[in-house]
Amino acid sequence: MTSSRRGEDSSSFDQSVLADTLGYTFKTPELLRRALTHASATGRGSTADYERLEFLGDRVLGLLVADMLLRRFPEATEGELAKRHAWLVSREALAEVADGLDLGAHLIVARGETNNGLQSNPAVLADACEAVIAALYLDGGLEAARGLISGHWAPLIELARTPPRDPKTALQEWVQARGLALPDYRVLEQEGPDHEPLFTIEVTVAGNNPVTGKGRSKRIAEQEAAEKLLAHLAGGGAAS
């Protein structure tokens, strides 16, 4: 595994190993360096980290995945395509791809964060993966981004032979089928710094005790809570 590059400036940034993995050589290496720079390494209010690129990468990924799905499933309904799309652009899918690319070994984080697990945190890896997609797009256009996405998302598309249901959707369908009120999600706690929060969220369904989930985003925490509640419901008893 490549050693981590923590706190380096652009003059010392070596993109060669990751460029080989990506199958793309950047004309502007600064773009890749920024895509791998965590907010902890730049300070509050800075725009030199990957957050702006993450915003763009999310949109590029969404477009190219939608195009792949239309071509791969010509008979699928809009609803089926939407379910597949939601999974393929999720943090879970992004973190899986990032892990395969070994992005964590290339992340630039503050020296004080080197022992806090940032470089293996799924939410951080997912964000960095979106930023790398944006960097590819800005440096080489849609085709550069498509090269990464087609190579690493095509296997994920083939793994899901039927449109997946995320836990929140499955729980909502469960209560609607029984004429119950929709699940109620409530934030119980937010811990950690602004750039790396940890949410604890509670979900309640009528007739069942509340269940909690944790995650680096509200969505991830809600999904975990819904999944745990579904597991209790599948066991035939009220959640505890």
CATH number, domain of 179, equals 3.30.160.20
pLDDT value of residue 46:
60
pLDDT band for position 217 (cuts 50, 70, 90) = confident
Amino acid at 136: L
pLDDT above 50 for 209: yes
What is the domain count for the chain? 2
pLDDT value of residue 19:
86
User: Which residue is catalytic, options 49, 130, 166, 224?
Assistant: 130
Q: Tell me which of 3 and 117 has the higher pLDDT.
A: 117
Known catalytic residue at 14: no
pLDDT value of residue 195:
72
CATH number at residue 38: 1.10.1520.10
Give the integer Cα–Cα distance in Å for 87 and 110: 31
Top mean-pLDDT range of 3-12, 33-42, 136-145, 156-165: 136-145
| Cβ neighbours, 10 Å, residue 46 | 11
Q: Are residues 97 and 186 in the same domain?
A: no
Q: Are residues 144 and 226 in the same domain?
A: no
* pTM for the model: 0.68
pLDDT band for position 47 (cuts 50, 70, 90) = low
Q: Are residues 152 and 171 in the same domain?
A: no
Give the residue numbers spanning the domain of 205.
167-234
At 186, give phi and psi (nearest 5°). -140, 130
Q: Which residues pair with 209 in a beta bridge?
A: none
Q: Are residues 120 and 142 in the same domain?
A: yes
The first and second tokens of residue 52, run together, are 């702006």
User: 9: buried, middle or exposed (CB in 10 Å: 19+, 13-18, 0-12)?
Assistant: exposed
Known catalytic residue at 130: yes
Q: Are residues 36 and 140 in the same domain?
A: yes
DSSP 8-state symbol, 36? T
Q: Are residues 82 and 198 in the same domain?
A: no
pLDDT value of residue 216:
81
Q: For 31-43, write each residue's pLDDT tens digit.
A: 999 999 988 888 6
Q: Note the Cα 79 to chain centre separation in Å.
A: 22
Q: Are residues 60 and 141 in the same domain?
A: yes
In a domain? residue 32: yes
